């Protein structure tokens, strides 16, 4: 890998009036004044199909835990280009402090795992030709980068981050997927196959095995101490759960099982969201379980007791939709692992808030960010003063915002060739089927005078859920 001093990005230092001239960034002028955001656009023009087909111009933006640095993983040169990893000081956006790229390697992911370490994955070109339709000239490798030493360490293989270790800042836990060696091409059961878990040394790239997955105990959920706490396996035609209380060294079987050969359990298995949902950050002997119980049609979130293996009281359920996940606190680098919201699909992925301060923060961000729809705080400094917010929706193909000291600045768009003014509105409706059941649907409405031709885009099921978002197919056809 090379470290080159080359500045292709210029960010204004003012948070009040910003304009980006680089083709990588949005050409719209964003003006942010407190909670009010305005946007100036030119008259919309037809968007060439090549613009819709572009790979994401930016695929990652994160602030370091200490708030001193920002990483940006961006694409240069269009679809035939390559990803470049740039690191900026949050006190100086005039040029990158580091600019990193590979000779025969392309960065795929990157994220901060400590104040000075970045962990991610890359494609590495290892052969000159392929022999099969699903083969590739590249293989995956994992890498870690020390900003202070300007040094890389890497490990061959498909490794992904499982969790950081707050008490061991030089190590993280990673997982390695076990691929069915007898099957060629794409493995449709890859998500269910056993994984191996390692402690990964960020300085050397060395690994030490923590847990080797097998058919009975294929995967594992870990706590902040690095202890495996929950796994889901199968026995015959049954889905079986196993758990460990804090300090336990062996698995205990949960009394409840589900017959995976029954059609009514198909959604439970393929949906992937029902089951263990996390550990209570305030009490590690407690956890969360998402399940549809007592004949209820919709899945809710329940308490789970690691000491007894019992699924306890219901914490929340929604009468119109399944709870599909839990959101943790944005101040995780400060040690706050509290669950703040339950997520369920509606017009967008909605939140039922448990933490009113976090709710107020998100509501204030929705007022600051232009065309705010589905916003998420993707990283936040330990002191809480700097955060990166990601937004996407019908009028935003995906954008990254820097929020510092309460003021918002748009950093980048995933597709700067697509302007908000060119995009069409999307409506959330419900219509009645022949059997009387109400069906939710999302309609992308073209500009101009109705009526319009109708194009229906059905999708798989029953395990596929949809919400209003940025849908390229709908926008292109509209």
pLDDT tens for the chain, 478 residues long, are 333 322 222 222 222 222 222 323 333 333 333 333 343 443 456 788 889 988 899 999 999 999 999 999 998 877 777 889 999 999 998 899 999 987 777 899 999 999 999 999 998 888 888 888 777 888 888 999 999 999 999 887 789 999 999 989 899 999 987 655 444 555 556 666 889 999 999 999 999 999 999 988 999 999 989 999 999 888 878 888 999 998 888 999 988 888 878 877 777 777 778 889 999 988 999 999 999 988 888 999 999 999 999 999 999 999 989 999 999 999 999 999 999 999 999 889 999 999 999 999 999 999 999 999 999 999 999 999 999 999 999 999 999 999 998 899 999 999 999 999 889 999 988 899 999 998 888 899 998 888 999 999 887 666 677 889 999 999 999 9
Sign for the pseudo-dihedral over CA of 3, 399, 173, 134: negative
In this structure, what token pair is assigned to residue 234?
């199968």
Q: Write 270-274 long-range contacts (CB < 8 A, 24+).
A: 270/462, 270/463, 271/322, 271/324, 271/462, 271/463, 271/465, 272/191, 272/463, 273/299, 273/322, 273/324, 273/325, 274/299, 274/322
Strands 58-63 and 349-353: unpaired
In this structure, what token pair is assigned to residue 66?
């200490």
Q: What are phi and psi of 460, to 5 degrees?
A: -70, 170
Instruction: Name the residue with tokens 């101040």.
Output: 331
Nearest to 58 by CA among 348, 401, 387: 401
- Does pTM top 0.75 for this prediction? yes
Nearest to 44 by CA among 446, 373, 452, 450: 446
Give Cα separations from 85 to 1, 92, 121, 397, 458 (angstroms).
Answer: 11, 17, 12, 21, 37
Any idea how long the chain is? 478
Domains and CATH numbers, the chain: 2-477 (2.130.10.120)
């Amino acid at each position: 890998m090379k470290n080159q001093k080359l500045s292709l990005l210029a960010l204004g230092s003012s948070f009040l009036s910003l304009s980006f001239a680089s083709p990588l960034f949005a050409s719209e002028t964003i003006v942010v004044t407190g909670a009010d955001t305005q946007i100036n656009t030119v008259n919309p023009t037809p968007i060439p199909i090549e613009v819709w087909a572009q790979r994401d111009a930016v695929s990652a933006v994160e602030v370091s835990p200490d708030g001193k640095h920002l990483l940006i993983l961006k694409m240069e040169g269009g679809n035939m280009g390559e990803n470049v990893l740039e690191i900026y000081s949050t006190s100086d956006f005039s040029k990158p402090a580091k600019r990193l790229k590979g000779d025969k390697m392309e960065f795929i992911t990157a994220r901060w795992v400590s104040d000075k370490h970045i962990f991610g994955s890359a494609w590495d070109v290892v052969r000159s030709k392929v022999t099969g339709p699903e083969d590739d000239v590249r293989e995956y490798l994992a890498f870690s980068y020390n900003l202070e030493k300007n040094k890389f360490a890497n490990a061959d293989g498909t490794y992904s981050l499982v969790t950081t270790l707050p008490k061991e800042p030089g190590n993280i836990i990673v997982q390695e997927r076990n691929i069915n060696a007898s099957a060629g091409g794409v493995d449709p059961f890859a998500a269910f196959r056993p994984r191996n878990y390692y402690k990964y040394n960020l300085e050397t790239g060395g690994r030490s095995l923590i847990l080797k997955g097998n058919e009975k105990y294929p995967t594992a959920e870990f706590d902040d101490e690095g202890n495996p706490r929950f796994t889901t396996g199968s026995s015959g035609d049954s889905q079986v759960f196993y758990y460990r209380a804090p300090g336990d060294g062996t698995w205990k079987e949960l009394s409840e099982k589900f017959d995976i050969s029954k059609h009514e359990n198909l959604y439970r298995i393929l949906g992937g969201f029902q089951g263990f949902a996390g550990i209570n950050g305030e009490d590690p002997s407690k956890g969360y379980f998402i399940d549809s119980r007592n004949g209820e049609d919709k899945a809710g979130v329940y308490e789970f007791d690691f000491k007894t293996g019992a699924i306890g009281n219901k914490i929340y359920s929604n009468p119109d939709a399944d709870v599909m996940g839990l959101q943790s606190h944005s101040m995780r680098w400060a040690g706050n692992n509290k669950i703040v919201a339950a997520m369920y699909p509606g017009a967008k992925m909605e939140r039922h808030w448990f933490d009113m301060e976090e709710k107020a923060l998100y509501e204030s961000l929705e007022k600051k960010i232009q065309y705010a729809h589905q916003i998420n705080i993707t990283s936040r400094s330990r002191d809480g003063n700097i955060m990166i917010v990601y937004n996407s929706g019908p009028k935003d193909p995906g954008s990254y915002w820097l929020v510092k000291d309460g003021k918002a600045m748009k950093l980048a768009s995933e597709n700067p060739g697509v302007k908000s003014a060119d995009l069409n509105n999307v409506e959330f409706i419900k219509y009645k089927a022949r059997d009387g059941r109400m069906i939710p649907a999302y309609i992308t409405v073209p500009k101009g005078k109705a009526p319009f031709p109708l194009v229906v885009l059905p999708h798989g099921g029953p395990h596929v859920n949809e919400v209003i978002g940025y849908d390229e197919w709908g926008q292109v056809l509209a």
